[in-house]
């Protein structure tokens, strides 16, 4: 039975326990033949990255995670000319620290970022092992998952019904790379948002019940939100692109706003005043 | 207890259960962790699994909250924070003190006030290097100096600084092990710590609703009450993803996700998008630092104007409402406290204030606090604290879903009304075996911690209250003096909690006080060479708790309570001993050992802890040692415990508050009687922009020169000053930022607009300064902070470029206000103050202070021992 990991960004509070526990496990502890020691700093076999999204006061943080995807058709295995990288029966991909010759072909071949690191002192490539040394001792999950307080990281057998249910809700980090068959799944990968606040210019009061529609001129996609008692709207789950906003409320003049470009980042368009018709 | 951690028994490692939490009060243990050890070395630290030796259904009576079709259960493991997991790095830190040391230019033969060779050179504290000495020399010197000081000035010339926080220890007493020795020796002056996360509630709310001893609301069963009854939660300066970590772990995080799942809206009111707001907020309302009082007032104005508050409740539950209403509506001073009035003060638009007031009045709303934060630790913190309470009162405080909910310290100080989580059958208590100082300790004479620099630098001072950390409201009306009648001024300082500089008010003043020639001798005992230890004449090496046998209780997690004997994981590093052992050695040399210990050994004390833990009838000593821990089952019927102020709400007469009237005092009876004309803490709470104590708001004369408001919350990646040397944490971008000189600087949060105006870019080394000094940091340019505000969390390791003037380590408390909460309230005011920031000319600084910049530092762990040892280590 193959092992898989599911990471739910919607439950990650950014405590970095996973990143720290990984270091606690692998720095200064030699788990040969699974892995040699990780340097004290500089390597993150399990890396957390703060994605601060939006502008004051419509801001949120999504904590993103880089970890070896333990691909079934792993490009690193194919690329290693020392044949040092192998796949276990449980799906885990291991760089054999004894066989590694430090040729760095794997680093070049890996299509993911921040996964394989080079240890200059030992002249070897190193990465996540899913703590295979612990699994082989009877542990049910690697250190990062054991350390996760919120349940944002789940580890188990791909045939387990609970895992299957999670995978059914999950996506791949890079859908375009499905052919390498990664074993890490993600829930809640960030999609762009447009947010703002609508108010009545005359009364200087927040405008509730305003319909805000974002239209992507290129794809024709549309998204709609209705403002709350603060006049706030959040248009979430948008595809990258350029949008035009339509701001409508019965009894008020309809307004258009744009272009709003969320190709590169989430946007708070700020406060929008509307006028009674 | 000693068992192979691997289910297949092949690891060769031994697993020990340890409390790795950092409150430093015996009732407040938490963060039970599994420490795997092999060959005398710590292999790993990980969450403790309750079901390791117990069957949950059979032994633990697991609780669950079933509300609105959803179930919340505790995790089967402890939810420890990253610095507990990384604690091995703290144990083996390059800053560990391994042997006794003496300041190289302090000569105990020198006359008081002497300088130069053979002198005491107190002016060099913070600059001098250290040499290794033997334990004999160190102890002989300390005892000689103690007796000399006593003979010359009397024993009260010795100031003992010995308060929390620190490693949680019981028998080995992290702080204050000398409190029982010094009275035997003849006496001393005790430094009394103020609350440093509850200032406003302590000095303010106690006059509104009593709630001894901390001034925060009753918490009983509130986690369940919120789930059942709340529609809206206002997290007011609360960061439950930061502050509770060192105390209790991360159950507050799981709960916050669950409350969202239940459809309970979460609004965060704070100048920064704090770590909780970053992941849980449905709305962030940025408010200018320390202007919350104006915002609360505008909300009450809106309620008074529209009648959207619970008038009937106030008639039976409160007094002084008319006086408050007169102030709010402008009858008293001609200024109605309208949303339009408040908006320019607090930076929240009038229309958002109105929307907030209306939503609050229309929904079952609790205010959530988490200690610390930007709203409660500033100048005049008594005012926002009381006004927050007033808002709750106006909406029927104690009604289901209407309370002040704490996200931290569930079960504080063993008080039943502080148990917000499902109650355990028993709360383990280890106070009897505890050898250290307790917040409730008193001594005559004593000195408020906030007044230590003032007392030493000015020679005399007076204040009100502060008899202890748990002194009741009435104590705030007791006038005290330094020097107390018949007592000496301070001439020697003993610290076992050397973190004053980076944690308290105006740390630069403290440095100058310790450099004062009157302080003839200062000694420190601590595991790490950091902060105030850098001022001491003698430094004694203390071991970390993983090098000691002890006993612990985990009572703060919110999940299950635990009791466990703690077995030493590794041998003490270098020549270190526990604080308690060190005090025993001193007692021995003073001829007081037998009297001090009562003839009890450390194993005796550990056993005594078990016997008096309240759990001895639930598990035998033998079984406890064999299993290694005991899980206290949940109490039957926990669901029926009254929630928060419920009983007071139902019948104020049968469950009165501890205020003079027994009711909620909108006009405080005690303040009116004792301080009727105090404009800084008036009987009716007000917006106080400035006063005799502080000029720290925008619009004041000072703000022309120092236009930015600084907030300084408790840190995310450390507990106050603890954990600053953990290399793995320092790699996190919000923990440290590496400057062009390779030094890891403390982040200074700036909004892009604030940075741009000053030509500052992400990662630039910047100087935060006012007339009290300069602190270096590195710019963290982010949308997580509102414009015109900067954020620098406190506790960074002090690394003076010029002690008392400029700091490279980022210890922002060196430049916070020197004056206390207000004239008659001696809390510290350490957040919400004025400063300016500019890009640092590092080359210029290096030219000016070549020695400081040539000091070696560990590239990944920061300043350590090597910079301070004569001739290198």
- Kindly identify which residue of chain A lies nearest to residue B10, measuring between CA atoms: A137
B241: nearest CB among A13, A48, A50? A13
* Residues forming a β-bridge with B332: none
Q: Which of B31, B274, B355 to mutate to test the interface with A (most CBs of A within 10 A)?
A: B355
3-class DSSP assignment, residue B753: helix
Three state DSSP letters for B333-375: CCCCCCHHHHHHHHCCCHHHHHHHHHHHHHCCEEEEECCCCCC
- Spatial contact of B236 and B367, defined as CB atoms under 8 Å apart: yes
Record: contact A24-B45, CB cut-off 8 A: yes
The dotted CATH code for B702-854 is 2.40.40.20
The per-residue pLDDT for range A116-152, each reduced to its tens digit, is: 999 999 999 999 999 999 999 999 999 999 999 999 9
- Kindly identify which residue of chain B lies nearest to residue A204, measuring between CA atoms: B351
pLDDT reported for residue B865: 87
Chain B residues in contact with A229 (beta carbon < 8 A)? 355, 358-359
- In this predicted complex, what is the ipTM? 0.98
Chain A residues in contact with B10 (beta carbon < 8 A)? 137
Q: Which of A43, A50, A58, A59 to mutate to test the interface with B (most CBs of B within 10 A)?
A: A59
Residues B163 and B437: their CA atoms lie apart, in Å, by 7
Mean of all residue pLDDT scores within chain B: 96
Chain A residues in contact with B285 (beta carbon < 8 A)? 57
Q: Phi and psi of B133, rounded to 5°?
A: -130, 170
Record: contact B85-A150, CB cut-off 8 A: no
Element (H, E) at B750: strand B747-750
Is a pLDDT exceeding 90 seen at residue B3?
no
A232: nearest CB among B273, B283, B731? B283
Residues B809 and B544: their CA atoms lie apart, in Å, by 23
Chain B residues in contact with A56 (beta carbon < 8 A)? 273, 286, 751, 783, 785-787
- Kindly identify which residue of chain B lies nearest to residue A63, measuring between CA atoms: B279
Longest dimension (CA), chain A: 77
Residues A65 and A60: their CA atoms lie apart, in Å, by 16
Chain A residues in contact with B254 (beta carbon < 8 A)? 149-151
Residues B286 and B273: their CA atoms lie apart, in Å, by 8
Alpha carbon of residue B497 to chain centroid: 13
pLDDT reported for residue B2: 63
Q: Which fold has domain B199-423+660-674?
A: Dimethylsulfoxide Reductase; domain 2 (3.40.228)
Residue B145: CA count within 13 A, CB half-sphere: 28
Record: contact A143-B44, CB cut-off 8 A: yes
Is a pLDDT exceeding 90 seen at residue B864?
no
Q: What is the mean pLDDT of residues B851-872?
A: 87
In total, chain A counts a number of residues equal to 277
Q: Which fold has domain B1-193+429-554+562-631?
A: Rossmann fold (3.40.50)
The number of beta carbons lying within 10 Å of the beta carbon of residue A191 is 12
Is a pLDDT exceeding 50 seen at residue B581?
yes
Record: contact A139-B241, CB cut-off 8 A: no
Q: What is the mean pLDDT of residues B472-490?
A: 98
- Spatial contact of B632 and B563, defined as CB atoms under 8 Å apart: yes
Record: contact B77-A27, CB cut-off 8 A: no
Calculate how close chain A gets to B524, using CA atoms only, in Å: 30
A41: nearest CB among B86, B352, B860? B860
The per-residue pLDDT for range B734-769, each reduced to its tens digit, is: 999 999 999 999 999 999 999 999 999 999 999 999
Record: contact B286-A146, CB cut-off 8 A: no
Count of A-B CB contacts under 8 Å: 146
pLDDT reported for residue B230: 98
- Spatial contact of B654 and B648, defined as CB atoms under 8 Å apart: no
In total, chain B counts a number of residues equal to 873
A24: nearest CB among B86, B751, B784? B86
Chain A residues in contact with B355 (beta carbon < 8 A)? 205-206, 229-231
Per-residue DSSP letters for A81-121? TT--EEE-TTS-EEE-TTT--S--HHHHH--SSS--EEETT
Q: Which fold has domain A3-187?
A: Alpha-Beta Plaits (3.30.70)
DSSP-H helix ranges across B424-578: 452-458, 500-503, 507-514
The dotted CATH code for A192-274 is 2.60.40.10
The band of B25, judged by pLDDT with boundaries at 50, 70 and 90, is confident
Residues A60 and B199: their CA atoms lie apart, in Å, by 30
Is a pLDDT exceeding 50 seen at residue B873?
no
Calculate how close chain A gets to B504, using CA atoms only, in Å: 26
Q: Which of B352, B354, B755 to mutate to test the interface with A (most CBs of A within 10 A)?
A: B352
Terminal Cα distance for chain B, rounded: 38
Q: In chain A, which residues fall in CATH 2.60.40.10?
A: 192-274
B346: which 2 tokens? 């607090």
Residues A91 and B161: their CA atoms lie apart, in Å, by 57
pLDDT reported for residue B229: 98
Record: contact A61-B253, CB cut-off 8 A: no
The band of B374, judged by pLDDT with boundaries at 50, 70 and 90, is confident
Q: Which of A9, A17, A144 to mutate to test the interface with B (most CBs of B within 10 A)?
A: A17
Residues A36 and A26: their CA atoms lie apart, in Å, by 8
Chain A residues in contact with B77 (beta carbon < 8 A)? 146
Chain A residues in contact with B249 (beta carbon < 8 A)? 149
The region, left, alpha or beta by phi > 0 then psi within -120 to 50, assigned to residue A203 is alpha
The per-residue pLDDT for range B692-718, each reduced to its tens digit, is: 999 999 999 999 999 999 999 999 999
- Spatial contact of B80 and B30, defined as CB atoms under 8 Å apart: no
Chain B residues in contact with A29 (beta carbon < 8 A)? 43-44
Is a pLDDT exceeding 90 seen at residue B867?
no
Calculate how close chain B gets to A220, using CA atoms only, in Å: 29
Q: Which of B48, B783, B860 to mutate to test the interface with A (most CBs of A within 10 A)?
A: B783
pLDDT reported for residue A46: 96
The number of beta carbons lying within 10 Å of the beta carbon of residue B500 is 27
Calculate how close chain B gets to A244, using CA atoms only, in Å: 24
Chain B residues in contact with A31 (beta carbon < 8 A)? none
Is a pLDDT exceeding 90 seen at residue B529?
yes
Per-residue DSSP letters for B736-747? -EE-TTS-EEPE
Is a pLDDT exceeding 90 seen at residue B27?
no
Record: contact A13-B11, CB cut-off 8 A: no
- Kindly identify which residue of chain A lies nearest to residue B354, measuring between CA atoms: A205
Per-residue DSSP letters for A4-28? EEEEEGGG-----HHHHHHHHHHBT
Percent of chain B with pLDDT over 70: 99
B728: nearest CB among A15, A23, A55? A23
- Which segments of B507-652 are extended strands (E)? 521-526, 538-541, 550-554, 561-566, 630-632
Q: Which of B7, B47, B51, B82 to mutate to test the interface with A (most CBs of A within 10 A)?
A: B82
Chain A residues in contact with B245 (beta carbon < 8 A)? 15
- Kindly identify which residue of chain B lies nearest to residue A17, measuring between CA atoms: B82
Calculate how close chain B gets to A3, using CA atoms only, in Å: 19
Q: What is the mean pLDDT of residues B262-291?
A: 98
A138: nearest CB among B8, B44, B245? B8
pTM over 0.80: yes
Highest-confidence range of A217-226, B162-171, B275-284, by mean pLDDT?
B275-284
- Which segments of chain A are extended strands (E)? 3-8, 46-55, 58-67, 85-87, 93-95, 117-119, 124-126, 153-157, 184-187, 192-200, 205-206, 211-216, 222-226, 232-238, 242-248, 255-261, 267-274
Q: Which of B279, B283, B284, B858 to mutate to test the interface with A (most CBs of A within 10 A)?
A: B279
- Kindly identify which residue of chain B lies nearest to residue A23, measuring between CA atoms: B728
Q: In chain A, which residues fall in CATH 3.30.70.20?
A: 3-187
Chain B residues in contact with A17 (beta carbon < 8 A)? 80-82, 85
pLDDT reported for residue B871: 67
Record: contact A52-B784, CB cut-off 8 A: yes
B44: nearest CB among A24, A42, A63? A24
Residues A26 and A30: their CA atoms lie apart, in Å, by 7
| Of B412, B402, B410, B408, the residue nearest B371 (C-alpha) | B408
- Kindly identify which residue of chain A lies nearest to residue B89, measuring between CA atoms: A24
Record: contact B46-A231, CB cut-off 8 A: no
Domain spans, chain B: 1-193+429-554+562-631, 199-423+660-674, 702-854
Longest dimension (CA), chain B: 79
């Amino acid at each position: 039975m193959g092992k898989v990991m599911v990471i739910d960004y919607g439950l990650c509070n950014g405590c970095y326990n996973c990143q720290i526990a990984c270091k606690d496990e692998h720095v200064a502890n030699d788990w040969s033949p699974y892995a040699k020691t990780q340097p004290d700093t500089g390597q993150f076999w399990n890396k957390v990255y703060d994605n601060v999204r939006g502008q004051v006061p419509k801001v949120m943080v999504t904590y993103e995670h880089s970890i070896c995807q333990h691909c079934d058709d792993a490009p690193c295995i194919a690329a290693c000319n020392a044949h040092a990288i192998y796949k276990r029966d449980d799906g885990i991909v291991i760089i054999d620290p004894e066989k590694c010759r430090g040729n760095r072909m794997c680093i070049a071949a890996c299509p993911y970022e921040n996964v394989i690191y080079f240890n200059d002192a030992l002249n070897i490539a190193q990465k996540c092992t899913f703590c295979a040394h612990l699994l082989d001792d009877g542990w049910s999950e690697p250190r990062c998952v054991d350390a996760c307080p919120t349940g944002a990281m789940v580890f188990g057998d791909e045939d387990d019904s609970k895992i299957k249910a999670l995978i059914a809700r999950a996506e791949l980090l890079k859908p375009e790379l499905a052919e390498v068959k990664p074993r890490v799944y993600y829930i809640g990968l960030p999609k762009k948002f447009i947010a703002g606040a609508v108010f009545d210019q005359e009364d200087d009061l927040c405008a509730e019940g305003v319909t805000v529609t974002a239209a992507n001129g290129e794809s024709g996609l549309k998204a709609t939100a209705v403002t709350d008692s603060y006049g706030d709207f959040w248009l979430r789950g948008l595809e990258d692109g350029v949008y035009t906003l339509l701001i409508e409320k019965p009894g008020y003049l309809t307004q258009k706003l744009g272009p709003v470009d969320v190709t590169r980042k989430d946007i708070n368009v700020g406060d929008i005043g509307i006028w009674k018709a | 207890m000693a068992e192979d951690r691997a289910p297949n028994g092949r690891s060769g490692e031994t697993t020990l259960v340890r409390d790795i939490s950092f409150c430093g009060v015996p009732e407040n243990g938490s963060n039970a962790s599994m420490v795997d050890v092999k060959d005398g070395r710590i292999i790993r630290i990980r969450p403790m699994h309750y079901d390791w030796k117990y069957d949950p259904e059979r032994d633990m009576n697991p609780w669950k909250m079933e509300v609105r079709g959803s179930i919340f259960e505790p995790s089967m493991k402890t939810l420890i924070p990253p610095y507990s997991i990384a604690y091995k790095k703290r144990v083996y830190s390059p800053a560990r003190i391994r042997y006794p040391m003496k300041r190289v230019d302090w000569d105990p033969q020198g006359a008081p006030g002497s300088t130069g060779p053979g002198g005491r050179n107190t002016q060099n504290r913070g600059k001098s290097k250290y040499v290794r000495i033997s334990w004999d020399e160190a102890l002989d010197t300390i005892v000689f100096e103690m007796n000399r000081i006593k003979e010359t000035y009397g024993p009260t010339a010795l100031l003992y600084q010995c308060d929390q926080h620190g490693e949680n220890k019981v028998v080995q007493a992290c702080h204050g092990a000398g409190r029982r020795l010094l009275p035997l020796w003849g006496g001393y002056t005790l430094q009394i710590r103020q609350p440093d996360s509850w200032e406003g509630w302590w000095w303010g709310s106690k006059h509104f609703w009593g709630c001894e001893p901390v001034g925060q609301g009753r918490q009983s069963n509130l986690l369940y009450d919120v789930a059942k009854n709340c529609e809206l939660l206002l997290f007011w300066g609360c960061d439950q993803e930061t502050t509770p970590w060192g105390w209790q772990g991360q159950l507050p995080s799981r709960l916050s996700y669950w409350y969202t799942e239940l459809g309970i809206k979460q609004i965060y009111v704070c100048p920064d998008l704090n770590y909780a707001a970053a992941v849980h907020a449905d709305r962030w309302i940025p408010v200018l630092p320390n202007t919350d009082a104006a915002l609360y007032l505008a909300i009450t104005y809106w309620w008074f104007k529209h009648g959207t508050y619970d008038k009937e409740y106030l008639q039976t539950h409160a007094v002084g409402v008319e006086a408050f209403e007169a102030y709010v509506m402008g009858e008293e001073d001609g200024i109605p406290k309208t949303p339009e009035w408040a908006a320019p003060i607090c930076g929240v638009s009038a229309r958002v204030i109105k929307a907030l007031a209306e939503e609050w009045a229309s929904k079952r709303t609790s205010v959530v606090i988490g200690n610390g934060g930007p709203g409660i630790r500033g100048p005049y913190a008594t005012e926002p604290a009381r006004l927050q309470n007033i808002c709750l009162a106006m909406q029927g405080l104690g009604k289901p879903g209407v309370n002040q909910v704490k996200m931290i310290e569930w079960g504080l100080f063993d008080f039943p009304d502080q148990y917000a989580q499902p109650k355990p059958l028993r709360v383990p208590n280890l106070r009897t075996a505890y050898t250290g100082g307790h917040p409730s300790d008193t001594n005559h004479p004593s000195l408020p911690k906030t007044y230590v620099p003032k007392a030493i630098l000015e020679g005399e001072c007076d204040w009100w209250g502060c008899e202890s950390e748990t002194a009741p409201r009435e104590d705030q009306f007791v006038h005290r003096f330094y020097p107390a009648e018949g007592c000496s001024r301070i001439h020697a300082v003993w610290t076992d909690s050397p973190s004053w500089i980076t944690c308290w008010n105006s740390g630069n003043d403290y440095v100058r006080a310790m450099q004062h020639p009157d302080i003839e001798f200062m000694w420190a005992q601590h595991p790490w060479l950091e902060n105030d230890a850098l001022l001491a004449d003698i430094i004694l090496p203390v071991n970390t708790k993983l090098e000691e046998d002890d006993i612990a209780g985990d009572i703060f997690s919110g999940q299950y309570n635990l009791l466990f004997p703690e077995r030493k994981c590794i041998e003490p590093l270098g020549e270190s001993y526990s604080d308690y052992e060190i005090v025993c050695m001193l007692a021995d040399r003073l001829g007081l050992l037998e009297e001090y210990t009562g003839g009890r050994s450390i194993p005796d004390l550990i056993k005594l802890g078990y016997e008096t833990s309240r759990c001895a009838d639930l598990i035998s000593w033998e079984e406890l040692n064999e299993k290694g821990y005991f899980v206290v089952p949940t109490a039957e019927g926990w669901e029926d415990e009254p929630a928060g102020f419920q009983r007071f709400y139902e019948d104020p007469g049968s469950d009165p508050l501890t205020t003079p009237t027994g009711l909620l005092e909108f006009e405080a009876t005690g303040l009116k009687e004792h301080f009727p004309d105090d404009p800084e803490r008036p009987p009716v709470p007000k917006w106080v922009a400035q006063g005799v104590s502080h000029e720290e708001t925008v619009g004041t004369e000072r703000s022309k020169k120092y236009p930015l408001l600084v907030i300084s919350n408790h840190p995310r990646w450390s507990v106050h000053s603890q954990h600053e040397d953990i290399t793995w944490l320092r790699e996190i971008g919000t923990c440290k930022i590496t400057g062009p000189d390779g030094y890891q600087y403390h982040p200074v949060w700036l909004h892009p607009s604030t940075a741009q105006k000053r030509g500052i870019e992400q990662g630039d080394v910047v100087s935060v300064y006012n007339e009290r000094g300069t602190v270096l940091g590195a710019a963290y340019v982010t949308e997580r902070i509102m414009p015109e505000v900067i954020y620098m969390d406190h506790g960074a390791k002090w690394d003076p470029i010029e002690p008392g003037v400029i700091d490279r380590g980022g210890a922002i408390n060196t430049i916070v206000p020197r004056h206390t909460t207000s004239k008659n309230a001696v809390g510290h005011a350490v957040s919400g103050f004025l400063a300016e920031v500019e890009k640092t000319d590092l080359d210029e600084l290096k030219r000016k202070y070549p020695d400081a910049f040539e000091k070696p530092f560990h590239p990944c762990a920061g300043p350590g021992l090597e910079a301070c040892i004569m001739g290198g280590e």
